Amino acid sequence: MRILVADDQDEVRATLVQMSHDMGHEVVGEARDGEETLALARETAPDLLLLDIRMPKMDGLQVARVLIGERPVAIVIVTAYADDVLIEEAAEVGVFSYVVKPVTRARLAAAVSTARARFSDLQILRDEVGGLKEALEARKLVERAKGIIMRDLEVGEQEAYRWLQKTSSHSNHKLADVARRIVALETNRAV
Q: Tens digit of pLDDT for each residue in 68-118?
A: 888 888 899 888 877 777 777 777 877 878 888 888 888 889 888 888 888
Give phi and psi for 54, each to the nearest 5. -90, 100
Q: What's the pLDDT score for residue 186?
A: 84
Residue 35's pLDDT band (cuts 50, 70, 90): very high
Q: Hey, which residues does 78 pair with through a beta bridge? A: 99
pLDDT single digits (tens) 148-168: 998 988 899 899 989 988 989
Sign of CA dihedral 79, 72, 119, 48: negative
Residue 191: pLDDT over 70: no
Helices 60-70/84-93 angle, 10° precision? 10
The pTM for the full model equals: 0.65
CATH number of the domain at 2-103, please? 3.40.50.2300
Q: Which residue has the higher pLDDT, 113 or 20?
A: 20
In whole angstroms, give the CA distance from residue 181 to residue 33: 52
What is the DSSP code (8-state) at residue 25? P
Judge whether residue 20 has pLDDT over 90.
yes
- Supply the mean pLDDT for the chain: 87
Euclidean distance between CA atoms 119 and 46, whole angstroms: 13
Rounded Cα gap, residues 164 and 143, in angstroms = 10
pLDDT at 22: 93
Q: Is the pLDDT at 54 greater than 70, yes or no?
A: yes
- Report how far Cα 42 is from the mean position of its chain's Cα atoms: 15
Q: What is the pLDDT of residues 67-79, one digit of tens each?
A: 988 888 889 988 8
99 φ, ψ (degrees, to nearest 5): -125, 130
130-190 and 2-103 share a CATH fold: no
Q: Which residues of 106-136 are buried (b: 16+ CB within 10 A; e: fewer)?
A: ebbeebbebbbeebeeeeeeeeeeeeeeeee
**Which helix or strand (DSSP H or E) is residue 167 part of?**
helix 157-171
Amino acid identity of residue 56, one-letter, is P
pLDDT at 61 over 80: yes
Please state which of the four CATH numbers 1.10.8.60, 1.10.10.10, 1.10.3720.10, 2.60.130.10 is assigned to the domain occupying 130-190: 1.10.10.10
Cα–Cα distance between 126 and 129 in angstroms, integer?
Answer: 5
Domain extent listing, the chain = 2-103, 130-190
Estimate the crossing angle of helix 175-190 against helix 105-153, to 10 degrees. Answer: 60
